[in-house]
Amino acid sequence: MSNKTLKINISGMTCVNCSNAVEKVTKKLPGVEGVNVSFASSKGEFVYDANLVNEDEIISKIKRLGYGVTADAKALEEAKTKELLALKNRLVVAGIITVIVMFLHKTPILGDLTIYLTFVLASIVQFYSGAPFYRHAYGALANKNYDMNVLVALGTTAAYGYSVAVMLFGKFFPETMRFDYFDGAVMIIAFVSLGKYLEERSKSKATDALKKLMDLSPKNATLLKDGKESEVLASSLKPEDIVIVKSGEGIPCDGIIIEGDAEIDTSMITGEPLPVHKSLNEEVVAGTILKTGFIKIKVTKFPSQTLLSTIVSLLSEAQNQKMPIGRIADRVSNIFVPSVIFISIITLFSWWFISGNTLVAFLASVSVLIISCPCALGLATPIAIVSAVGKGASMGILLKNPEVLEIMKDVKYAVFDKTGTLTKGEISVSSTSVESVEDLRLIAQIEARSEHPISKAVLDYVKNSVSLSSSSEVSVKVIPGRGIEGAVEGKTILIGSVAFLSENGVKVSAGTLEKMQEAQDEGKGAIVASIDGKEVGYFALEDSLKEEAKDLILELKKSGITPIMLTGDNEKTAKNIANKLGIETIFAEVLPQEKLEKIKELQKKGRVLFVGDGINDSLSLKQADIGIALNSGSDIAKDAGDIVLIGNDLTLVQRALNLSRRTMRTIKQNLFWAFIYNIIGIPLAAGALYPTFGLLLTPKYAGMAMSISSVTVVLNALRLKLAKL
C-alpha cells in the first residue's frame, strides 16, 4: 500500500451539508482511506492509496459536485471573494424585487397586466437569485442528503410553477383557484439568501488572522557575512546565519543574541506591555520589536520553524477543527422533505381516485406543496439571528460569527487573559515617595526625553503635580534593562532599578528598599530615582484593574460559570490580580501554544469561553468554543474572535451570554410555530377534513396560511430588539 495525502482548498461550499456531500462522495472512490473536509476553512484533506486512485480523480469528483478546487490560499481567497460578491448581488436583486412584487401583489396598478410584470420580476429572482439553491439541491439529492436547499428549491418551484400555470391557463382553473403566489416564492429566496450571506461573510474572515500574523514578521533582514552587511529576504535565512537588528526594527528570525543588548517589545507573544531586556546568549523570536539597543543574532531555526510560524500553523489547525453548528432545520429537513413529497403524491392519487377529477387532484397536491413551502422554517433561524446581531450591535457587541449564539448558553468555563482584558494594559504610577516638587520637576524633564513606556507613565503622573518647563540643557541616555541617565540644569539624574543606581555609586535607603519590596510582593513594579548621587525616592508601577471586571466575575459565578485567568505574566502579579477579582484558578507564565493546550484541556470538561485582546491570544480565541475579543486589542485577535466588544466594556460579556439565551429561546419558538403550522396545515391542504366537514383548503388559503406563519415568525424574532439584557 502506498498512502499519500492530498490537501486542497474547496470553494463554493455554502453549508455544512456541502462539506458532508464532498466527504460522502469521495469516500466512495476506491483507494480513498480517509477524508476530512472543513466547511469553516474551505479545506479538504484526503488520504488515499496511490495504486488505486490518483489526485486528478479525487479533484474531478469534487468538481462534478459543483465546487471549485484551488491549490493555493491566494486562489481560494480570490474565489471566495467572488462568491461573496455574487451572493451579495443576488441578495440585493432579490430584496429589491421582493419589495416591488409584494407591492404589486397588494396593489395591481396595471390591471390584468400586473401578473405578467410580476412574472418577469419573479423569474429573475427564481432563476438568478435562486440559482445556488437549485444547484446545491441537485447535489444534495444526488447524494441522498435532504437539506434546506432542497426545501427552498421545492417550495419556491411549487409556488412559482403553480403561479405560472394560473397566469397562462387560468381560464381552465376553477374561479376559486385562480391565484398566483409569486410573492411567496420571491420572499422565501430573499430571506434565506440573507441568512446565507450573513454566514458566508463571517466565514470569509476566517483567514484574515493568518494573513496578518504572517505580516508581523519582517520581510527583509540585515545579514552579516564576511564582515559585510547586506539586505536579504527574511525567508532565505537559515540556521547559523548572523543577523543585525537595530532600534525600531522588527526581529526577522528566531535566534540567540551573540553581541549587544536591547529592550524588546514581546507583547505579541506574552501580551505584557513592558519591554523585556535581552542580552548575550538569550533567545529572541521573529516578529518582536527591538525598542532600544543594538544586537547581533545567530539564527537557530528556519523561517518555517519559528514560533510565529508555529502559531500560524496552530491557528490554521484550530480553524479547521471548529465546525459550524448544524442547523436544526437542516437536520429536520432530512425527514420533512421526503415526507412532504410523499404526502403530495398520496394526495394527488387519492383525490384522483376519489373524485375522478385530475385537475382537482393536481391542485390539492400543489396546495400541500405551497402550504409546506419552508418560508417560516427557513426564516426561523436567519431572522432571529438578524435581530440578535442588530440587538448586539446596539449594545456594542459585534457578532462576527452568529452561530456561537447556539452554544454560549452551555458555557462552563470563562477564561480571561490578564493584561488589556481584566486590566487596562497601561503602565501607570500608583504611588511615589518623592515628595519634593522640585525633584519631581527635574525627573519630569528627563522622562520627557524618553519614549520608554515607564518614562511615559512617570511623566503622566508627575505632570499633574508640577508645571513642566523646556530646557535646552537636557541630555538623556537610555541604558537597556537598567534605566535612564540624564543631566538637566547642571544636575545628574538617574532613574531605574536598584542595581542600576548601585552601579553608579548611589546608595538606596533601607526604607525605600522595604517599600519597593512590598510593591513587588503585590505584583507591582518599582523604580528608584536619584539626583546628584542622592536617592530621592521610588515610583510604584502597576497595570490597574478595569472597574467592571470584579462585577463580571461575580455575575459569572452566580450563573454557574467558573472564571479562570490565563496569562503570560509572572505568577506573583497574576495572583495579586486574581485575588482582587475573586478568581481562584490561574495559569501564569504561559506562552501562546501553552494557552492553547490549557483551553483544549478545559474543553474536555465543558464548553469554554475565552476573552482576550492580544496577538498572543489569537490561538486561544480560535480554539475556544466562543472567542470574545476586545475592540482595543490587536486586529489579529479581533479577526480570530467570534465576538468583538466594541466598547471594551467587560460587562458586555454577561450581556452577550444573556443575548445568546434569548436568541436560542426565540429560534426554538420560531421553529415550534413553523412545525405546528405544517402539522396542522398539511393535512388541511391534503383534504383530511373534507370527508367529515366538507372543508378543502385551496391554494389561495394555503398561500395565506403560509404568509401568516411567516409574519408570526418575523414578529416573534423582532421582539429580540426590544429585550432588556
CA distances (Å), 330 to each of 185, 561, 647, in order? 19, 31, 35
Are 15 and 39 in contact, with CB atoms under 8 Å apart? Answer: yes
**Pairing verdict, β 228-233 and 483-488:** unpaired
| Rounded distance between C-alpha atoms, residue 184 and residue 182, angstroms | 5
Which among 32, 46, 37, 47 has a CA at the least distance from the CA of 12? 37
Nearest CA to 639 among 204, 217, 268, 14? Answer: 204
> Closest Cα to residue 532, out of 557, 561, 501?
501
Contacts of 23 (CB under 8 A, 6+ apart): 35, 36, 37
Cα–Cα dist 214/636, whole Å = 10
- Give phi and psi for 16, each to the nearest 5: -60, -35
SS3 (DSSP) at 77: helix
Q: Are 636 and 227 in contact (CB under 8 A)?
A: no
The helix or strand, by DSSP H or E, that contains position 525, with its residue range, turns out to be: strand 525-531
Residue 666: strand, helix, or coil: helix
Q: Which residues contact 338 (CB under 8 A, 6 or more apart)?
A: 146
Per-residue cell: 690: 373534507
CA distance 467 to 444: 9
**Number of Cβ atoms within 10 Å of the Cβ of 115:** 20
Query: Is the Cα torsion angle 234, 239, 243, 247 positive or negative in sign?
Result: positive
Residue 128 dihedral angles phi and psi, to the nearest 5°: -105, -65
Q: Which residues on adjacent β-strands are paired with residue 48?
A: 4, 32
Distance (Å, whole) CA 334 – CA 49: 33
One DSSP character per residue, 290-305 reads: EEEEEEEEEE-S-GGG
Residue closest to 132 by CA, chosen among 15, 234, 21:
15
Cα distances from 429 to residues 421, 527, 542, in angstroms, run 19, 10, 6
Collapse the DSSP code of 385 into the 3-class scheme (helix H, G, I; strand E, B; otherwise coil) and give the result: helix
**Amino acid identity, residue 309?**
S
Q: Are 53 and 4 in contact (CB under 8 A)?
A: no
Could you give the CA distance from residue 331 to residue 567 in angstroms, rounded to a whole number?
40
Determine whether 417 is an active site residue. yes
| CB neighbour list of residue 488: distance below 8 Å, 6 or more residues apart | 442, 445, 446, 471, 473, 474, 475
User: Using CA atoms, how far apart are residues 285 and 593, in angstroms rounded to an integer?
Assistant: 14
Catalytic member of 417, 613, 642, 649: 417
Q: Which positions are catalytic?
A: 417
